[in-house]
Amino acid sequence: MRKFVVWGDNALARRLVGELINTYSAQVTVIVPDLAGGQAPEIAEICADDDPETRPVMIAARKVTRAVFEAADLTDADAIAFVDTDDVGNVDAALIAREVDPTVRVVLRMFNLRLGAGISARLSNCAVLSASEIAAPAFVAAALGDSNPTTIRLSDGQQLMALDRSLANPNDIRCGLADTARGESLPADATTADFVLASVYGRRDVEPRRRRRRHPMRLSRLLIGGGLRRILVAIVVVLALGTVAVAAVRHVGVWKALYLAVLTALGGANPQENTTVLSQVVDVALVVVGVAVIPAITAAVVGIVVKARLAIAAGGLTEPISGHVIVVGLGNIGTRVLTELNDLGIDVVAVDREERARGVQVGRDLGLPVIIGDATNPDTLTAASVATARCLVVVTTADITNLEAALLGRDLARRADPDLKLRVVLRLFEEEFAQRVKTAFDINLSRSVSYLAAPAFAASMVGSEVIDTIPVGRRVLLVAEVPVGAGSQLEGQYFRGVSEPGLVRLVAVQTGRAGLGVGVQTFWAPEQNRWRTLDRTHTMVVVATRAGLVALLERAAGVENPPPFNPPAAPPLLTPQPR
């Protein structure tokens, strides 16, 4: 039985432990800061088929030390995963673990992939994964109407793209991934799949959309807002009436009347004892109006300028916007989502209640509007122009907050346009809760970061080279490169024997491996090479479900002291018989 160690007590740790126990039938030891805090109580109850014997071993340790890893029998473990949200903490714990067992496989969760690449290059048998990077494409695709392709790069540099069949060149399609209408993954009849995997040749992953150009007078539009505009209109009306009155009582021309009215109202007036009573009344009225108007103008100008400067400094909206995506929650996943949307040329408005959230500075560095406020407050979503948005993506860590913000956003959009149904994408952890939300509130688009990421982390722990994941609704398909082990069950088998409907689809077979002095060749469309056989120099490129990948890894696992490989004889050619 495989044995694994997991460090962390968050949602990803909970999903990962469940994946290792239920999918890989492994024995798991979990190290948490507190047995009664975080996700630890839920993790402790995970078991396979209601068998208490399969529950994880729980160890409480507020600080990671060599003694903690020794207590977890790290030297007997196949791999250890560090899935806390703190990059530095994960790296530090991994280095301590390597002091205890220099050969143990390490799987690190990191947001900073540049740092992660440097660490994995220096630590042997180490894999660095980002949960937010794995999950973000699913949220982006949902926000854009599932029209955003997922691009996969193989180890030999070739690229594949998962996209709608209608968008793919029929000659480039490598396999069918899913029949989305039926909710069926890897269907037996690939022609029924409307979601496919296709090759990409020397072109950009996605053509960037043209970003909306900013209005050249956006600053003046912000300064001369609605309140100041109304005050200015009122002043113009008062001065116009004053001009008419002065012209009538003093019998002067329009320009002189305007001149006298403006100076009297805004600059004060000298007493005129020799004028008529009516002229004096007009002068008094203008002075009184001026006394009231000047403070109003001063207050309005100061207030609006201060508000504008604060909005500009904070990166908030400075002009009307429409057709944008609002991203609420600027943690790891929110930061990835807004970055990917911005890279695609989509207008984004970012919202978070915490000034210190990771994505706040990222959004400002990208020049995106960033609003600091509570998304469950109508004023916050109104400030983000929710009524004119194309989609609201809510990805905070609290399911109930996400649902509340989503329902509020829909209500505000519907008030502005009764016929408008705002597109909403939610981050929800619980699958059953997501189904109830879908039924009760007609919110069909929800994703779980931990559910999307856990399969890749688990596969990496068992040593599988998971290249990428392909989101299909709330679930994922795994894209992996699986070497054919010497003496394995698959060695000598035909290409056609690898694929299993609903579980595994063989996309390609790569011949030759680094260090063997054999050139690498890729066989696409394996079903057209049905009489070719697999050997120990081959690497399979597959798309699989979690269960399918587990079964394939068992079939592809090599044995100790494998016998020499003798490929099977080619099938005899059929010759036409004489009539």
Look over the chain and give the mean of its residue pLDDT values, rounded to a whole number.
Answer: 82
DSSP category for residue 561: S
pTM of the predicted model as reported, rounded to 2 decimal places:
0.73
More confident residue, 258 or 191: 191
CA distance 403 to 173: 38
DSSP for residue 146: S
Q: Which of these, 307, 290, 311, lies nearest to 372 by C-alpha position?
A: 311
Confidence of residue 18 (pLDDT cuts 50, 70, 90): very high
325-447 matches 218-314 in CATH topology: no
Is the per-residue pLDDT at 78 higher than 80?
yes
Q: How far is CA 92 from its chain centroid?
A: 27
Measure the CA–CA gap between 368 and 380, rounded to whole angstroms.
Answer: 16
More confident residue, 165 or 519: 165
* pLDDT tens per residue, range 434-446: 888 888 888 888 8
* pLDDT at position 288 over 70: no
Q: Which two tokens stand for residue 147?
A: 């029209």
C-alpha 467/C-alpha 41 separation (Å) is 33
Strands 391-394 and 423-427: parallel
Question: Is it the case that residue 142 has pLDDT exceeding 80?
Answer: yes
- pLDDT band for 515, please (50, 70, 90 cuts): very low
Summarize the confidence of residues 232-239 as an average pLDDT. Answer: 75
Amino acid at 162: A
Task: Please say if the pLDDT value at position 536 is more than 70.
Answer: yes
The model's confidence at residue 579, banded by pLDDT at 50, 70 and 90, is very low
In the block, tokens 């919110």 appear at: 443
**Residue 251 and residue 67: Cα distance in Å, rounded?**
101
- pLDDT, average across residues 163-188: 86
Alpha helices in 251-352 (DSSP H): 254-267, 277-314, 332-343
Counting residues of the chain whose pLDDT is more than 90, the rounded percentage is 36
pLDDT per position as a tens digit, 311-331: 555 556 656 788 999 999 999
**CA–CA dist 129, 146 (Å, integer):** 24
The DSSP annotation for 470-485 comes to EEETTEEEEEEEEE--
Higher pLDDT, 208 or 67: 67
Query: What residues are paired with 48 via a beta bridge?
Result: 51
CATH (residue range 1-129):
3.40.50.720
Question: Looking at residues 472-498, what average pLDDT do you find?
Answer: 86
For residue 190, the tally of other CB atoms under 10 A from its CB is: 18
Band of pLDDT at residue 519, cut at 50, 70 and 90: low
CATH 3.40.640.10 matches 325-447: no
Using alpha carbons only, give the angle 445, 447, 449 rounded to the nearest 5 degrees. 165
pLDDT at residue 256 in the model: 75
Identify the CATH class of 218-314: mainly alpha
Chain Cα centroid distance, residue 447: 10
Q: Give yes or no for a contact between 563 and 487, defined as CB atoms under 8 angstroms apart.
A: yes
pLDDT exceeds cutoff 50 at 514: no
Q: Locate the DSSP E strands across 490-574.
A: 504-511, 521-524, 538-544
User: What pLDDT is recorded for position 233?
Assistant: 77
- For 512, list phi and psi in degrees, rounded to 5: 85, 150
| Structure token digits, residue 108 | 């690190």
Report the share of the chain in percent with pLDDT over 70: 79
> Residue 578: its pLDDT value, please?
47
Q: How do the domains of the chain map onto residue ranges?
A: 1-129, 218-314, 325-447
Q: Could you tell me the CA-to-CA distances from 382 to 94, 143, 211, 329 in Å, in that order?
A: 45, 19, 22, 16
Query: In the prediction, which pLDDT does 576 show?
Result: 47
pLDDT, residue 293, reads 67
Look at residue 520 in the predicted model and tell me its pLDDT. Answer: 66
The bridge status of strand 446-447 relative to strand 423-427 is: parallel
- Residue in the structure block whose two tokens are 């995997």: 197
Contact 72, 29 (CB under 8 A): yes
423, β-bridge pairs: 391
For residue 83, the model assigns a pLDDT of: 95
